[in-house]
Amino acid sequence: MKIAVDAMGGDFAPLETVRGAIAAVSEHDDIHVVLVGNEKQIFEILEAEGERNNSRLSVHHASEVIEMDEHPGVALRKKKDSSIVVATSLVKNKVCDAVVAPGSTGAAVAAALFGLGRIKGIDRPTIATPIPTRKGITVMLDSGANANSKPKHLIQGAIMGTEYAKLLLGKDNPTVGLLNIGEESTKGNDVVLSTYPVLENMKSINFYGNVEGRDIPKGTVDVVVCDGFVGNVVLKFAEGLITQCVELIKDAIMSGGIFAKLGALMVKPALKKLAKRLDYTENGGAPLLGVNGVFLISHGSSKAKEIKTAITIGNDLVKRKIIEHIADRIGKEGANDNEYAE
């Protein structure tokens, strides 16, 4: 399996992206990574890491990089040889099987849309982010691809999220919740109010009903559907809250005297286990569902661990034929028919 990685994307590129690729191929014999970007810089890192001659790491040169602060659409038109555009074209041309794209989410979504196109019947792709909960994992979508959604986009998201949760969580009939400001079906804005009855009447969707923000960390449902503006706010808030809680615990231990430190030492194994469950970097990347190819978007601050995990997830999704599953399900549902048009 060949995975194209935008080696120049993200805050710590290309060093951490290259290291993540090295870790992925060292742990998985069936993965070949194509590092896309400035070949001189990439080869220098491979040389320093002692991986210059690794047959499962190759380099594809791209002369340009789209920076985080650039407008995605404008940058894609001006920088046709950017690493994200070239990496996406490798999948389009069947050279690679999946893309891992750290860095600008907007540029990644635009590159995937223009480069790969959409699965037939999908209006707008959606980012599906796995969130750690008390019960395991909840998939939230959309978490940033679309700031303004119509009911049909949420409905298509529910269908795609169901298929992804089946593959990711191994659930035969994952529950789907619609994120809202209350549990009652009469609450919410016009989009949510219009989406609710459609999901409720879809026999192929195991619709739980409305869920509130506090239900996400509880793991009340397997899939949470919302528009990308709300989803991205929820995701960034959760990441910040977890980070700050960990820091507050550390501060409390360090300022609590010898007994606090001894107590922390005794519960250290349990704290490490908890930290691992809450660590969003364990998930590595979120797939952009709805485009005609496996496309993983990683956090802009991704380091080697997250890149390695994203590569592994991409490899797994290709093997599990996520694109074919979604295309088949969307075709059967007719989720772009006139009844969902508004």
Q: Residues 88-132: pLDDT tens digits?
A: 999 999 999 999 999 888 889 999 999 999 999 999 899 999 888
Question: At residue 340, does pLDDT exceed 60?
Answer: no
Question: Averaged over 53-78, what is the pLDDT?
Answer: 87
pLDDT band for position 142 (50/70/90)? Answer: confident
Closest residue by Cα to residue 131 from 122, 121, 141, 123 = 141
What value does the mean pLDDT of the chain take? 86
127-282: same fold as 1-122+290-321? yes
Q: Which of 193-202, 233-242, 316-325 is predicted with the least confidence, judged by mean pLDDT?
A: 233-242
| pLDDT for the residue 133 | 83
pLDDT band for position 267 (50/70/90)? Answer: low
Q: How many CA atoms lie within 13 A of 169 on its CB side?
A: 27
Q: What percent of the chain has pLDDT over 70?
A: 88
- When computed from its CA atoms, the radius of gyration of the chain, rounded to whole angstroms, is 21
pLDDT band for position 171 (50/70/90)? Answer: confident
Distance between CA 127 and CA 145 in Å, rounded?
6
Residue-wise pLDDT for 205-239, tens only, equals 999 999 999 899 889 999 999 999 998 888 888 77
Residues near 135 by beta carbon (within 8 Å), at least 6 away in sequence: 218, 219
Distance between CA 121 and CA 171 in Å, rounded?
24
Question: At residue 262, does pLDDT exceed 70?
Answer: no
* Three-state secondary-structure class, residue 5: strand
What's the topology of domain 1-122+290-321?
Answer: Isopropylmalate Dehydrogenase (3.40.718)
pLDDT band for position 178 (50/70/90)? Answer: very high
* H-helix or E-strand spanning residue 175: strand 175-179
Q: How many residues does the chain have?
A: 342
Question: At residue 296, does pLDDT exceed 90?
Answer: yes
Domain extents in the chain: 1-122+290-321, 127-282
Question: Averaged over 133-158, what is the pLDDT?
Answer: 89
The H-assigned helical ranges of 28-82 are 39-48, 72-78
Cβ-contact 86, 36 below 8 angstroms: yes
pLDDT band for position 338 (50/70/90)? Answer: very low
Report how far apart, in Å, the C-alpha atoms of 242 and of each of 191, 245, 281 are.
Answer: 30, 5, 12
Q: How many CA atoms lie within 13 A of 251 on its CB side?
A: 6
Question: What CATH superfamily is the domain 127-282?
Answer: Isopropylmalate Dehydrogenase (3.40.718.10)
Cis peptide before 97 (omega within 30 of 0): no
Q: Which of 234-238, 257-261, 333-337 is predicted with the least confidence, judged by mean pLDDT?
A: 333-337
Cβ-contact 231, 184 below 8 angstroms: no
Q: Which residues pair with 140 in a beta bridge?
A: 129, 224
pLDDT band for position 34 (50/70/90)? Answer: very high
Cβ density class 227-246: b for 16+ within 10 Å, e for less: bbebbbebbeebbeebeeee
| pLDDT for the residue 67 | 83
Torsion sign over Cα 149, 150, 153, 154: positive
